[in-house]
Amino acid sequence: MPNKKVRIRRQPLKPISLIAGFLTVGLWTLLSRVLGFVRDIMIASYLGAGPFAEAFLVAFSLPNMFRRFFAEGAFNMAFVPMFSKKLEADDSAHDFAQDAFVGMAFILTIFTVIGIIAMPALVWLMASGFAEDERFALAVDYGRLAFPYILFISLAALLSGVLNATGRFVAAAAAPVLLNIIFVIAMLLGAFRGDGSESTIGTALAYAVPLAGIAQLALVWWAAKRAGFPLTLKRPRMTPELKRLAIIAAPAALAGGVVQINLLVGRQVASFFDGAVAWLSYADRLYQLPLGVVGIAIGVVLLPDLSRRLSANDTDGGRDAFNRAVELSLALTIPAAVALLTIAVPLVSVLFERGAFTSDDTASTALAVMIYGLGLPAFVLQKSLQPLFFAREDTRSPFHYAVVAMIINAVIAVGLSYFIGYIAAAIATTLAGWAMVVMLWRGSRKMGEASQLDARFKTRIWRIILASALMGLILWTLSAAMLPFLLAPSIRYLALAILITVGIASYFSIGQMLRAFHLAEFKRALRR
């Protein structure tokens, strides 16, 4: 019998509740990203951009890439709409979640074993440029230690989808914090209880990956149990609902993980240039901060809400939810993109340049940060546009768009690499991201009123762009004036904090004056 606690009809989120949900997920994601900076600052200090750093980064990217396919990409984009509609209709939602949990555990256990055995081939597919030096053997060893993470984090993602669909966002958003905490502890143990060598730190990080996955899974499992969904392991069974889920999930695997696929191509290109894998990874961390805080929060909260509204034929509510999601995401993302363009060098220098990370590494990483910054609005818009398709269980259209975007990415990354080196990978990722947005936008026009932009959005978007441009001018001028302080080891953190604070304050002040948004909207949501 299904647990009685799940027999609750969840009402669609009101606009203010929707924004509050975005901010809840966003704030926890912000904490995770800040700790991620601490983690990457330590990795850069201990390992720099050398062979141990590149080997670990490739090894860790393997389970993360497949997580995008099995979890965020395929399963959640297909699972969450189906689960949300079953929850709304009071139609055996617990049984559906239980069967999906067991089925995923069964498939991924087999996949994990295969991945560990075939690790040399996986590393070669990820970074064939490693094949001729010590990085290859290191990446294989680290990869075998880290790969079981895919099992634990994918199950955690499914449980997170259950929690998000029921309007409980905290535990799922907080789980990634554990990953970074465990990584930091692992490096500190390697430094103070081991010999502190690059080999010791790299091995400690590899062991920390599956341990972090177990911790994240335990947290969301406990939260799901408290929410009335105590999912357990048992004999798997194939039900009609799971067959339908598999049919929907197959194309979503590519559509949801297109950014990861493009990054894979980028790593493959970068592996032929010494240090480039690390440079792109550190740059990826910087633009992933706003992408994670805004884009992931938007996608996590918007998808179940849109699914419930469309299931209830609430077209007006769906349109308002979509417009407010796009408006909020661009209001926070466009200024972040401008900041990455104008102060990339100070950001990278202050955050990473120490120990094994040199000024040359700073220059190379900052260039990649600027290119990724140009694509940041596109990456976030994808998170807002894709739910329009997934809420209607249309995963085929995003699949077709993803194929085109991947071809664009591969042609540009490989073709330009012969002329401009590793930075071709970043340029290709950004251009492919914008191509994906154009295709998603055009495809969504055929979906009726729910995907139409309203008058409020059309009025505010130009004011948001103007406020961001003026903020960028202030940041550029101030960073030039503060250059001696940004280079001084004793006060550079304070100088960067002041620079960022001035940028944030100027943007919100200018935006309020231009009526690009109302600060009271953010305050009300934060109070909730």
**What is the tens place of the pLDDT at every residue in 221-261?**
999 898 888 888 888 888 888 888 777 777 666 655 565 67
Neighbours of 59 (CB within 10 A): 28
Q: What value does the mean pLDDT take over residues 123-136?
A: 86
Q: What value does the mean pLDDT take over residues 83-108?
A: 83
What is the distance between the alpha carbons of residues 233 and 100, in angstroms, rounded to a whole number? 11
In the prediction, which pLDDT does 258 show? 61
Residues 6+ apart with CB under 8 A from 435: 404, 405, 408
> Who has greater pLDDT, 138 or 80?
138
In the prediction, which pLDDT does 414 show? 92
Q: What value does the mean pLDDT take over residues 101-110?
A: 90
Query: What pTM does this model have?
Result: 0.71
Maximum mean pLDDT: which of 128-137, 305-314, 427-436: 427-436
Average pLDDT, the chain: 83
Q: What is the largest CA-CA distance in the chain?
A: 68
Residues 6+ apart with CB under 8 A from 118: none
Which of 216-225, 319-328, 499-508, 511-520 bottoms out in mean pLDDT, i.e. has the lowest?
319-328
Rounded to 5 degrees, φ, ψ at 237 are -145, 145
In the prediction, which pLDDT does 354 show? 81
The alpha-helical segments, DSSP class H, found in 234-358 are 240-256, 258-270, 276-290, 297-311, 315-342, 344-352
What is the distance between the alpha carbons of residues 351 and 499, in angstroms, rounded to a whole number? 14
What is the distance between the alpha carbons of residues 219 and 174, in angstroms, rounded to a whole number? 9
What is the distance between the alpha carbons of residues 99 and 105, in angstroms, rounded to a whole number? 10
Q: What is the dihedral of CA 123, 126, 132, 133, to 10 degrees?
A: -70
Residue 12: name the closest of 83, 72, 75, 84 by CA.
Answer: 84
Q: What value does the mean pLDDT take over residues 116-144?
A: 91
Which of 22-26, 146-150, 273-277, 334-338 bottoms out in mean pLDDT, i.e. has the lowest?
22-26
Burial class of residue 95 in the structure, from the number of CB atoms within 10 Å of its CB (0-12 exposed, 13-18 middle, 19+ buried): middle
In the prediction, which pLDDT does 2 show? 42
Q: Are 198 and 60 in contact (CB under 8 A)?
A: no
Residues 6+ apart with CB under 8 A from 129: 268, 270, 271, 272, 273
Q: Are 15 and 321 in contact (CB under 8 A)?
A: yes
**pLDDT tens track for 467-487:** 999 999 999 999 999 999 998
In the prediction, which pLDDT does 16 show? 46
What is the distance between the alpha carbons of residues 319 and 314, in angstroms, rounded to a whole number? 9
Cα-only R_g, the chain:
22
Write the CA distances from 343 to 107, 181, 259, 483, 500, integer angstroms.
45, 28, 24, 11, 9
Residues 6+ apart with CB under 8 A from 271: 54, 58, 126, 127, 128, 129, 130, 277
Q: Does the structure show a pLDDT above 70 at 26?
A: no
Q: Does the structure show a pLDDT above 70 at 307?
A: no
Residue tagged 């670990």 (tokens): 56
What is the distance between the alpha carbons of residues 391 and 369, in angstroms, rounded to a whole number? 33
